[in-house]
Amino acid sequence: MRQAGQILIIILFIGLLTGCYHPSPQEAFEDMKALQGKWASTGQTLFNEQWQVVSDTLMTGSGFSLNGKDTVFMERLKIFRTGDSIWYAAQPGPKKDYVFFKLDDAGYRHWTFKNPENDYPGIIRYKLKRDTILQTRTTNIRGNKEVIFTFKKIWE
């Protein structure tokens, strides 16, 4: 019984530490480097993301959906830090402009980006559940029309 009590105290302590973690923009960007690698969706929709750390202020990536071996959707992605702000940018087609989302909230292994001017998505959330499991959620700015992707890391 004593050992179970000690385990509970350790779990509560870890929860307290991670729940109180509010990183600076530099720390948040450093934490996001854990996204580097190739991620493949585990659900019904075949969607992949891959990220590469370019510098201490820039990560580039891509998101793409496959139908068999054919790419049916492709977007260029980047996350970058300018001063005290971090931005997520998506270019959903070769002839379209980037859409920018500002980092609104960051904590231990999770990041929320928002753009209230964009119809959909208005909110993009990333949560690293384990080193090899990533979950993304997109919603409109009111939190409706949620789409969730769960990814498994294929390589770094």
Q: Any idea what the CATH number is for the domain that residue 94 is in?
A: 2.40.128.20
The answer to whether position 116 is within a domain reads yes
Q: Contact at 8 Å (CB) between 94 and 19? A: no
The answer as to whether 66 is a domain residue is: yes
35 touches 59 (CB < 8 A): yes
| C-alpha dihedral (24, 122, 38, 69), degrees to nearest 10 | -170
pLDDT, average across residues 33-57: 93
Number of domains comprising the chain: 1
Domain membership of residue 14 (yes or no) is: no
Residue 72 lies in a domain: yes
Which is nearest to 63 in space by CA: 118, 134, 139, 117? 134
Domain range holding 124?
Answer: 24-155
Give the residue-averaged pLDDT of 43-48.
Answer: 81
| Residue 147, in any domain of the structure | yes
Q: Per-residue confidence at 20, pLDDT binned at 50, 70, 90?
A: low
Give the pLDDT of residue 17.
46
The pLDDT of residue 62: 97
Q: Is the pLDDT reported for residue 6 higher than 90?
A: no
